[in-house]
């Protein structure tokens, strides 16, 4: 028996990476009877046969799993956003940070199109967006700025992927497929174009598949532009805003939600410029969504 990682599966065919090669696998009968679902990233045991064929004999419990994208046992989530064309959707970025943190996956933020982010662009976008990389670094997140065209910053990202299962997530047009191509030359993924009318990307990835990349396994996932928050309570929301943690104990009320309450240390930090205005605004938006979800359930 050999242990491996499921790369993809469709139409009753499964492809498993083990012993530095890909095995064409079928399911043992008991799995078909149980109608068990399999996800890319599942750790499986296979029984090799001839001609790179094998049967899946066992599957290990999942450490974690995402539903969008549908993938299991993820170590890293590379949250990919363009610095320009399209303008970065920081609301979506903050949603994704919450989602992957809930799933106990380490987030890494990758801002692409550094080569297009020149002085003219930064003037059009505005000062706050020009310093967004510093905002997230200050909070404590790992942040990279890269150019898929020139290769700037790519080697630093590669070092993060070795021996890990990683997922590329972010909106269409952010450069996920181009980033994968830069990280793994010779394994080209189709690159989408930006719609000149909407300034949004066109979906180029249709299914989830793990591929060997930079010494690890990486999934290029379908693009999306909206995402619901996971099922969390209002009092838990501040746990996903690290810049709030060291200050919330200074609030007048222990139950402070940092919204309309008086003597709030978070709002004081906002007024003094210690906390990003966009991050705080997203917190308030998310708080209302969480409260509405609590009322429904």
- Detail the residues annotated as belonging to a binding site: 112-115, 170-178, 251, 256, 258, 264
Binding site as annotated, residues for Zn(2+): 251, 256, 258, 264
Residue 86: cis peptide before it, omega within 30 degrees of 0: yes
Q: How far is CA 240 from the centre of its chain?
A: 15
List alpha helices for the chain, DSSP H: 29-34, 90-102, 119-125, 127-130, 132-139, 154-161, 176-183, 242-245, 265-271, 277-296
Residue in 232, 294, 256 with CA at minimum distance from that of residue 97:
232
Angle value at C-alpha 34, between 39 and 230, nearest 5 degrees: 40
What are residue 244's phi and psi, to 5 degrees? Answer: -85, -30
> Could you count the other beta carbons within 10 Å of the beta carbon of residue 128?
12
Tokens of 106: 């380490």
- In which element (H, E) is residue 67 found? strand 65-67
Binding site as annotated, residues for GTP: 112-115, 170-178
Pairing type for strands 13-18 and 21-27 reads: antiparallel
Pairing type for strands 70-72 and 65-67 reads: antiparallel
CB–CB of 207/223 below 8 Å?
A: no
Give residue for tokens 């942040």.
Answer: 143
- In which element (H, E) is residue 157 found? helix 154-161
List alpha helices for 42-149, DSSP H: 90-102, 119-125, 127-130, 132-139
């Amino acid at each position: 028996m050999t242990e491996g990682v499921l790369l993809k599966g469709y139409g009753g065919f499964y492809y498993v990476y083990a012993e530095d090669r890909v095995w064409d696998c079928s399911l043992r009968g008991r799995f078909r009877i149980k109608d068990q679902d399999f996800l890319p990233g599942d750790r499986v045991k296979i029984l090799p046969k001839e001609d790179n064929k094998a049967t899946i004999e066992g599957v290990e419990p999942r450490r974690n799993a995402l539903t969008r994208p549908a993938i299991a046992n993820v170590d890293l989530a590379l949250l990919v956003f363009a610095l320009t064309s399209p303008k970065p959707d920081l609301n979506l970025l903050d949603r994704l940070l919450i989602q992957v943190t809930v799933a106990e996956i380490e987030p890494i933020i990758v801002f692409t199109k550094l080569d297009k982010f020149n002085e003219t662009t930064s003037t059009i976008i505005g000062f706050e967006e020009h310093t967004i990389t510093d905002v997230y670094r200050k909070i404590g997140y790992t942040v990279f700025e890269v150019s898929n065209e020139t290769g700037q910053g790519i080697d630093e990202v590669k070092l993060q992927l070795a021996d890990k299962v990683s997922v590329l997530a972010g909106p269409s047009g952010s450069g996920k497929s181009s980033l994968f191509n830069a990280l793994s030359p010779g394994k080209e993924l189709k690159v989408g174009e930006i719609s000149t009318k909407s300034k949004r990307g066109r979906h180029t990835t249709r299914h989830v598949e793990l591929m060997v990349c930079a010494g690890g396994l990486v999934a290029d996932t379908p693009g999306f532009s909206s995402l619901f928050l996971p099922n969390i309570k209002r009092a838990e929301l501040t746990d996903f805003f690290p810049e709030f943690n060291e200050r919330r104990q200074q609030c007048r009320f222990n139950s402070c939600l940092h919204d309309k309450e008086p003597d709030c240390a978070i709002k004081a930090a906002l007024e003094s410029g210690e906390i990003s205005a966009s991050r705080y605004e997203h917190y308030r938006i998310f708080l209302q969504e969480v409260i509405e979800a609590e009322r429904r359930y």
